Amino acid sequence: AESDALIVKGIISLLIKVLSGHTPDEILNADLYFIDKIGLKEHLSPTRSNGLLSMVKQMRMYALAFKAKEGK
Protein backbone atom coordinates (compact mmCIF):
# COMPACT_ATOMS: atom_id res chain seq x y z
CA ALA A 1 0.00 0.00 0.00
CA GLU A 2 1.17 3.48 -0.75
CA SER A 3 -0.02 6.94 0.17
CA ASP A 4 1.40 10.42 0.37
CA ALA A 5 -0.27 10.90 3.77
CA LEU A 6 1.77 9.57 6.68
CA ILE A 7 -1.34 8.75 8.71
CA VAL A 8 -2.66 6.53 5.92
CA LYS A 9 0.71 4.79 5.64
CA GLY A 10 0.62 4.15 9.38
CA ILE A 11 -2.91 2.79 9.34
CA ILE A 12 -2.28 0.40 6.48
CA SER A 13 0.98 -0.68 8.11
CA LEU A 14 -0.95 -1.61 11.26
CA LEU A 15 -3.45 -3.64 9.25
CA ILE A 16 -0.71 -5.40 7.28
CA LYS A 17 1.21 -6.19 10.48
CA VAL A 18 -1.90 -7.68 12.12
CA LEU A 19 -3.20 -9.65 9.12
CA SER A 20 0.05 -10.70 7.45
CA GLY A 21 0.73 -14.42 7.48
CA HIS A 22 -2.85 -15.42 8.15
CA THR A 23 -4.99 -17.62 5.96
CA PRO A 24 -7.84 -16.12 3.92
CA ASP A 25 -10.36 -17.65 6.34
CA GLU A 26 -8.57 -16.12 9.31
CA ILE A 27 -8.58 -12.72 7.62
CA LEU A 28 -12.25 -12.99 6.72
CA ASN A 29 -13.14 -13.90 10.30
CA ALA A 30 -10.67 -11.60 12.06
CA ASP A 31 -12.07 -9.49 14.87
CA LEU A 32 -10.00 -6.35 14.57
CA TYR A 33 -10.88 -5.30 18.12
CA PHE A 34 -7.57 -3.47 18.51
CA ILE A 35 -8.96 -0.61 16.40
CA ASP A 36 -11.54 0.18 19.07
CA LYS A 37 -9.33 -0.83 22.00
CA ILE A 38 -6.60 1.68 21.13
CA GLY A 39 -9.18 4.36 20.26
CA LEU A 40 -7.89 4.77 16.73
CA LYS A 41 -11.21 5.79 15.20
CA GLU A 42 -11.70 8.46 17.87
CA HIS A 43 -8.57 10.23 16.66
CA LEU A 44 -9.41 10.12 12.97
CA SER A 45 -11.46 12.52 10.93
CA PRO A 46 -14.67 11.08 9.50
CA THR A 47 -12.97 10.80 6.11
CA ARG A 48 -9.99 8.90 7.54
CA SER A 49 -12.30 6.69 9.59
CA ASN A 50 -14.22 5.78 6.45
CA GLY A 51 -10.89 5.13 4.74
CA LEU A 52 -9.91 2.75 7.53
CA LEU A 53 -13.14 0.81 7.10
CA SER A 54 -12.56 0.74 3.34
CA MET A 55 -9.03 -0.62 3.83
CA VAL A 56 -10.33 -3.43 6.05
CA LYS A 57 -13.07 -4.20 3.53
CA GLN A 58 -10.58 -4.26 0.65
CA MET A 59 -8.21 -6.58 2.51
CA ARG A 60 -11.12 -8.93 3.19
CA MET A 61 -12.10 -8.78 -0.49
CA TYR A 62 -8.55 -9.79 -1.45
CA ALA A 63 -8.72 -12.66 1.04
CA LEU A 64 -12.04 -13.79 -0.42
CA ALA A 65 -10.69 -13.60 -3.97
CA PHE A 66 -7.58 -15.57 -2.98
CA LYS A 67 -9.74 -18.17 -1.25
CA ALA A 68 -11.93 -18.53 -4.35
CA LYS A 69 -8.86 -18.86 -6.58
CA GLU A 70 -7.35 -21.52 -4.30
CA GLY A 71 -10.60 -23.52 -4.42
CA LYS A 72 -10.39 -23.99 -8.17
> Which pTM does this prediction carry?
0.84
pLDDT at 72: 57
Backbone angles phi, psi at 71, to 5 degrees: -75, -15
Q: What is the mean pLDDT of each run of 10 residues along the chain (72 residues)?
A: 85 93 96 91 91 94 93 67
Q: Report the CATH architecture of 6-71.
A: Alpha-Beta Complex (3.90)
d(CA 25, CA 38): 25
